[in-house]
Each structure stands twice: as structure tokens, then as C-alpha cells.
Amino acid sequence: MTESRHALIIANDQYTDQGLKKLRAPAQDATALEKVLHDPQIGDFEVGVVHNASADLMRRRIQGFFNDRSRADTLLLHFSCHGLKSESGELYFAASDTEPPLLAATAVPSQFVRSCMSTTRAGRTVLFLDCCYGGAFSRGSSSVRASGDVNVLESFAKDEPATGRGWAVITASDSMEYAFEGSQLADNSASRPSVFTHAVVEGLETGEADLDADGEVSLDDLYEYVYRHVREQSPHQTPKKAAEMHGELHLAHNRRGRIKIVAIPSPPSLRAAMTSNDVLTRQGAVLELRKRMLHTELPVAEGARQHLEEVARNDIQQIAELATDALQEIRLAPSVDHLDFGLLPRGSPSRTQAVTLHGPPLARHCMAQPQKSWLRVEPTLSGLEVHVDTGTEGHLSGDIALKGVADESVIHVEAVVGPAPEPGPGPGPGPGTETARETSEVRAKSSSGPDGEPDTVDDEPAATSGPTERVPTTTTRPPHTDDASAPSRRAPILSGAALALAATAVGSAVWAISAVSVAVSERIHAGSQGNIEDNFQKHGALTPLILCLVTGALALVVGAYARHDLGARPARYTRQAASTTQALTSLTKWLAIPALILALLVDIAYLVASHYV
């Protein structure tokens, strides 16, 4: 019996009833989910879509979807619409013609869907509910009941279905939580998938939902992946799952490749040499296995690796160490373990950095799993390309887990997403350029004489016959420090100036102490005839003291301003600039404060001595 896979996506975002808000995600949800489920390399489902249908049409399509199935069939039903609760607490799915006061007649009851799931002969059925429940989506609407609670999972049977092998229900949110669409429930922004469906599509499309790296995305894999990403994007939204399933259900393939390799055993003669009583023979077998492990054909290399691990576990120390050293050659060896993207403007195109994987083919064969939703990884011939999504402002920090056949590694990624650049007065040729008209005006102003006539410019081309209109040119603008999209250098420059002032204060303090020491020594030798004020003036001790006090105080003020600017505008600074500023300002304090204390003590001592000595 041939296995078949079928999916039905129901997406409603237009409602005739004014009490129901328009949803902006469902149409986009349907398009994105249909594409990934239908892809033969991923879901390989036969997909049908019902968009903005009436309640009658929805019931017909749902019942027809579950009818005439066999145990070899896997069915997936996805709802992206409003969820409504009746006065009795029953859950309904809103259709385009739903009237909240007449739910039983104009909406699709969850009991109807549950009945279709229970009576189908399909082997496995999966239901995804990307809905907001209990009227929470429209608390201000008098036509929709918004009080009380409804447990979505309890609306579906918990007993084992009469036929088939199992069922599962995954919901976008808990009983009374919102099912978020981006950062809001619904508005007039451009369409994009909801947080829940976006996570489902992303996990299947990228293969990142293959959490156990076995090449298949199971139901449990997908739920764990979606749960983590939804909670990360919307902490107040909690996906839920209920299932009665025999065995493991694979919803999709991981088209990025498998981490498990079907090994080809080494030749019998080589395996016999591994167990020989002669130590030199076994040593030669290890060297031959090492050569096979470096083979370009991965099954051959994997077979040799497994045999080397066996030798490393069971042979004498001398041979085991030789095998262990050989196994070190297939450890994961990324070219970097840390990537810093610096400051990125919000909404800018995804930035990319390359990571090279070193070693033989078996060492380079690994799965890369980003641990954050804003990270993307694409395989290349030499390794990986890492992309950062700039859709969210703030400091981004996350890891990419690399899993090889016998080793794991981590690449840490950081970026700072700052505000998007302010839009200009009109469309231009692009960032960093001026139009030909602006360039001509600038040149005309800079080359005109006192009488307004243009002066001769040595590098202008010679005059030619024909029109005098210039060919449009572009001129690169120097970076502007006040541009919100450009990294700022103000705090590092200020902190450097503060350190220079602090160093001057320390030098002045040393100079002053040296002059004071000589002046005091002369005063002591002069006896009763001496005068401390004369000695201070003679050796110029007061000048460095005053200079130390002034430069030390300025160093602390400038350093404090640098720290304030860094704290007030963290998005304007790269991680390196922030670290440099903090290090320089800390060193400034360590230098300036002791210098100021010494200078004050010497000044106080001078004032006291000038009255009594």
C-alpha cells in the first residue's frame, strides 16, 4: 500500500461582521505554508487551500478532506482564522460569513472537526490551530463573548481514535492568550506570517527543526522548535500540544543533508589485521584505517572511523593512542569560533560572513543549527555562510551549534541592530551618493569668483563643441558622524582625550613632587633664615601643581561624558568601540584620581607651611 500525504490549509482574514477584526496574517500564512508543505524535498504533501470561505463551504471541504482515506494516508489540517467561544463554552472557527450571535449556524464547531478526525480511516491526522481564542482578539466588541475561558485542547477527543494509528493537535497559544501576528494582533501593516506559522515554515524550510539531526523533522522536533521560537518572539504566547500517536511521525525531510552516514565496512583483510596477535600488524591496520578515514567517499570514511573507535576502546595503550590520534583529524575545525557583525541599521539587507571548515571531507560533514531565530546559515563548498536578520533593534547574541559525525562545536555570533536611517526628501541614487544636479550646484558654488562668474579650474576638462550640459556623475559623501546608521566614534575619541589629560596630570604631579622635594630640602638647610614661599617660587613648584589639578579634573569630566554618551546611545557603537571606551575611561580614573589626591595634599601642606615656616 502506497503512503500518501495530504494537507488542507484554511485561512480566513476577511469577515462580513463588523465585530470581527480583519486579520492580516492568514493569506500570507497560506502561501508560505503551502509552498513548504508541497515541496517534494521537504513536506511532499498534496496541498489544498481554502481562503475566505463561508461556513458551509468550510464544512464541505473539511469533511471531504477526511473522507475516503486509507491507513497509509497522513493528513494535516491547518486553521488560520479567528477562534470564537459560544455561551456554553464551545470553541468555533470563524468563517467569512460568521455572525457571532449565530455561531452554531454560521461558524464551524470544533466538535465537527473532532468528529471528522475520529471517523477518518487515515492512519495519522495532525491539526494545527493558529487562532486566537475566547474572544480575546476583540475585547472591545459587544458582539463577541470575551469573558470566561476555553481550553482548546479539551475541545478535541483525548481517547484513542476508533480507526487509524493516531492524531495530534498543536495550538499557537493557550486558552486565553493572543495568537500574535508579528508584534501586534492586527493592523494595517504589510502582510507577513504570524509568529506561530512563521516558526513552522522556517523550521521546515531551513531544516533547523530537525533537532536530533537524523535527517527527518518529526512531530516532536517541530513542536519543540516552534515552542522555543514562539516564546522567544512573544513571551506571552504559549504553544500547546496534545497527541495520541503510535510510533514517530515524520512531517518533513531535512533537505540540508543527514548527519548520519551509512558506513561501508572496511575490507575483511583489514578487519582481520585489527585483531591480529602481532602488534606491528595491528599498528599497520590503524595506519591503513587512517588513510581510509580521509577518503572523499563519506561511507568509506565513516566505516574506517567506526573501526578506529573500536581500536581506541579495546586495544593496548600503544595502539589505542595511535588510533585516538588518527581520530583527532576529523574533529570539527571552523575557521572562527566568534563572529561580530558590528552595528547594522534596522531593516537593512541581511549581512553575511563566511566560515571555512577545515579538515578532510568527513570532518567538514556537519549540521549547523542556529540557536536564535535571527540567525540563518547556508552551506557552501568550503563551509558556511552566516546571515543576520536586521528586523529587530538591540544587541543580538546567539550561537550556531555544529554537529559532526563524532564531534560538536559552537560559533558565537553577535551584532548590534540600530535605528533605521532617516528617509531622505525623495528617492535618490542610493546611500552615499549625490545626484548630478546636486553635484553641479556644489561645483558651481565652489568654483565661482567674487562677481559670481565661475573661475577656471585646472582639472576641468577642456571645452568642446556641442551642448554644455554635464554628464551625470556621482560623488561619494564622506561618512557623517551624526548619521544614525553609521557607527559613532565620539565616545572612543573622548575617552582617548581623557586618558591623555590623565597622563598629563600624572606627569605634572611627578614634576611637582620633584620640585617640592628640592624646595623643602633647601628650606631645611637654610635654617631660620629660609622661607618656604621663596623656595617654592624659585623651583617653580606651584605651576605643575596647578597644572595637575586642572588636567586631572578635566580628565574625569571628559571621561564621564564619554561614558554617558555610550550609555545613552548604545546602538550607535560597535562592540569593539564600547569595550575600548570602557577600558580607556577606567584607566583614566586610575591615573587621574591618585594624581589629584597627591596634588591636593601638597597644596594643603604648602598653605600650612607658608603660615608657620
Q: What is the pLDDT, as a whole number, of residue 564?
A: 83
Indicate whether 138 pLDDT > 70. Answer: no
Mean pLDDT across the chain, nearest whole number? Answer: 78
Q: Max alpha carbon distance in the chain (Å)?
A: 122
**What b/e readout covers 154-163, taking b as 16+ CB neighbours within 10 angstroms?**
ebbbeeebee
CB atoms within 10 A of CB 224: 17
Average pLDDT over residues 54-78: 94
The 3-state DSSP class for residue 406 equals coil
pLDDT (0 to 100) of residue 79: 92
Query: For residues 198 and 181, what is the distance between their CA atoms, to the nearest angstrom?
Result: 9
Task: Tell me which of 540 and 510 has the higher pLDDT.
Answer: 510
Sheet (strand 333-334) strand order? 333-334, 351-358, 383-388, 375-379
Tell the residue number behind the cell numbers 546611545, with chain if given. Answer: 569
Percent of the chain with pLDDT over 90: 28
Q: CA–CA separation, 175 vs 155, rounded Å?
A: 11
Q: At CA 289, angle to CA 284 and CA 291, rounded to 5?
A: 100
Give pLDDT tens digits for 362-376.
Answer: 888 887 878 887 888
The contacts of residue 49 (CB under 8 Å, 6+ apart) are 8, 9, 11, 30, 34
Read off the amino acid at residue 466: G
Q: How far apart are CA 612 and CA 497, in angstroms?
A: 41
Rounded Cα gap, residues 437 and 445, in angstroms: 12
Q: How many residues does the chain have?
A: 613
Q: What percent of the chain has pLDDT over 70?
A: 75
Confidence of residue 147 (pLDDT cuts 50, 70, 90): very low
Query: 224 pLDDT band (50/70/90 cuts)?
Result: very high
Q: Indicate the pLDDT class of residue 532, thresholds 50, 70 and 90.
A: low
Q: Strands, DSSP E only, in 392-478?
A: 394-404, 408-418
How far apart CA 178 and CA 235 sit, in angstroms, is 11
Residue 188 has pLDDT above 70, yes or no: no
pLDDT in tens, 41-60: 788 899 999 999 999 999 99
Long-range CB contacts (within 8 A, 24+) of 575-582: 575/340, 575/342, 575/414, 575/416, 576/340, 576/342, 577/487, 577/488, 577/489, 577/491, 577/492, 578/491, 580/492, 580/495, 581/491, 581/492, 581/494, 581/495
- Residue 193: which pLDDT band, with cuts at 50, 70 and 90? low
Higher pLDDT, residue 187 or 311: 311
What pLDDT is stored for residue 612 in this prediction?
55
For 95, 155, 226, the CA distances from 399, given in Å and listed in that order, are 42, 39, 18
Q: What one-character DSSP code corresponds to residue 454?
A: B
Q: Name, in order, each residue with C-beta under 8 angstroms of 268's C-beta and a sequence gap of 6 or more.
A: none
Lowest mean pLDDT among 73-87, 543-557, 599-613: 599-613
**pLDDT tens string 551-600:** 989 999 998 888 888 777 776 777 777 778 888 888 888 888 988 898 88
Contacts of 531-538 with CB under 8 Å at 24 or more apart are 531/613, 532/606, 532/609, 532/610, 532/613, 533/610, 536/606
Q: What is the pLDDT of residue 153?
A: 56
pLDDT band, very low/low/confident/very high, at 540 (cuts 50, 70, 90): confident
Backbone dihedral region for residue 141 (phi beyond 0: left; psi -120 to 50: alpha; all else: beta):
beta
Least confident of 338-347, 365-374, 604-613: 604-613
CB 147, CB 89: distance < 8 Å:
no
The pTM of the full predicted model, rounded to 2 decimals, is 0.46
pLDDT tens digits for range 247-275: 788 888 876 655 667 789 899 999 999 99
**More confidently predicted of 6 and 598:** 6
Residue pLDDT, tens place only, 153-176: 555 544 444 444 688 888 887 654
Residue-wise pLDDT for 346-405, tens only, equals 888 878 899 999 989 988 888 787 888 788 888 888 889 999 988 888 899 999 988 888
Asked if pLDDT for residue 85 goes beyond 90, the answer is no
Helix (H) or strand (E) holding 433: none
Q: What residues form DSSP beta bridges with 130?
A: 80
Residue range 454-496, pLDDT digits in tens: 443 344 444 333 443 433 433 334 444 444 445 678 888 988 8
How far, in Å, are 84, 405, 467, 537 from residue 520 at the CA level?
A: 92, 77, 85, 12
Q: How far is C-alpha 483 from the geometric centre of its chain's CA atoms?
A: 24
Query: How much is the average pLDDT of 16-22?
Result: 79
Looking at per-residue confidence, does 327 or 261 come out higher? Answer: 327
